[in-house]
Amino acid sequence: MAHSESSSHTPKALAELLGYLNFSSGASDPKFLRNLNELFDQAADESPAREAWRGVYERLCAGLAELRAHSPTFADSAQAAAVLKLTFESVLPAYRAHHRDLLFHQTNEALFRPFFIGRVFEAVLAEGSPWDETARIVTGALARLNDYLGHRPVAVLNNRQKAEPYGHERVRPVPLYVAGAGPERSVYGKLAARALAIVGGADSDLLAQASFDPGLLDELAFDPRAYDFNHPVNKRPNYHFGQWDPHRIDGRGHYRRFVVQQSLLEALLERVEGGDAGRRDELFEEAATVLAGTILMSSGTSGNGPDAHDSTTSLATLLPRIAAYRDAFYRESLARLSGAHGDRLRAEAAALRQPFAAARQHLNGALARRRALQMQHAHLAIQFARLGYPDAAMRQASIVPAA
């Protein structure tokens, strides 16, 4: 560990991280999240074969011990020590256990990303002392974290009582971008950051039509739940591209968190990683542009607040409007590209009759293939079960990651 950036012998960013953990009550702090992002980056670079979040825990514990020995400010560091232990040894395992059915297909490394860990810290801190009440803090932190459901029509019974969704289906989306903190340092975060930059450069009238104001975006995250193409709630148009979180609303009635589907990110990056290595940057730019376009499409479907669409709005009137500004966005994006890349895409658009045609068609094809494979394995599982082969049925069902 370096020993040159602060009087306490502890690097400044690490000291700031531990200061937040020791003195904060859980209010979100972009600087804290930025520092945590950098610490994850360092841990990943130094031990590429190891899960970065484990290295971060060790670094924070070692840094706290050093500050306790050298800095009077940290003479009483009981809160930071307790929060670190509660977060990494209690809340994170409890989160995995709570979602053992819903997130069985995800690795710890995929979930325990910098901003996600930051949100866990916030939830633990918000529960407050006494810090030895582990059961209370873990239960409360999980309730704070599991704050996203997505599009789930709520049934109303004949007695007018609402049938609440299954509690274990609520999840914490994994943040990729946080206002003030920037993007998470991963390929997902890099793609999201470039897409948001492209959206931010779009025509203001077009953004208004799409119900997307970049200034109102507090967080862009991905839904870690497997996308079940056969589930009735996922039949909603554009839902597989994402939506504004309908339960994250500010005092003026605006949605503040946008959640995309992981399957969308994977499909876009599949073309980048599997394409010509010499054109990797160009393919990445095309993927980011298509991600930006799909965000604008799904934003138009959900609207930017609960009152965005009145009772007279139907899909028949909404979808043509979305298609119109989507096409305008892609034409505008293509016009801004110059050089050989722009020339290639303009020739491609002329041949395939739409801007960014190859990237858009790849995305649609990848999602269609994923849906077809899910359906095949699900139907095979049913047939094996009917024939009396439960082991074979379970093997087919386990291939489909949906809960």
| DSSP secondary structure letter of residue 257 | E
Q: What is the pLDDT, as a whole number, of residue 399?
A: 87
| DSSP secondary structure letter of residue 156 | B
263: helix, strand or coil = helix
Report the C-alpha gap between 367 and 294 in whole angstroms: 13
Q: What is the pLDDT, as a whole number, of residue 244?
A: 94
Q: What is the pLDDT, as a whole number, of residue 235?
A: 75
Report the C-alpha gap between 230 and 237 in whole angstroms: 14
Q: Is the peptide bond before 175 cis (omega within 30 degrees of 0)?
A: no
Q: What is the pTM of this model?
A: 0.91
* C-beta neighbour count of 289 within 10 angstroms: 26
Query: What is the spatial order of strands in the sheet that 243-244 belongs to?
Result: 182-183, 174-178, 219-223, 257-261, 243-244
- 169-214 pLDDT per residue, tens: 899 999 999 999 999 989 999 999 999 999 999 999 999 999 999 9
Within the chain, which residues score under 70 in pLDDT? 1-10, 153-163
The answer to whether the CB of 244 falls within 8 A of the CB of 299 is yes
For the chain, the farthest-separated pair of C-alpha atoms sits apart, in whole angstroms, at 72
* C-beta neighbour count of 400 within 10 angstroms: 19
Q: What is the pLDDT, as a whole number, of residue 2?
A: 39
| DSSP secondary structure letter of residue 381 | H
- 77-134 pLDDT per residue, tens: 999 999 999 999 999 999 999 999 999 999 999 999 999 999 999 999 999 999 999 9
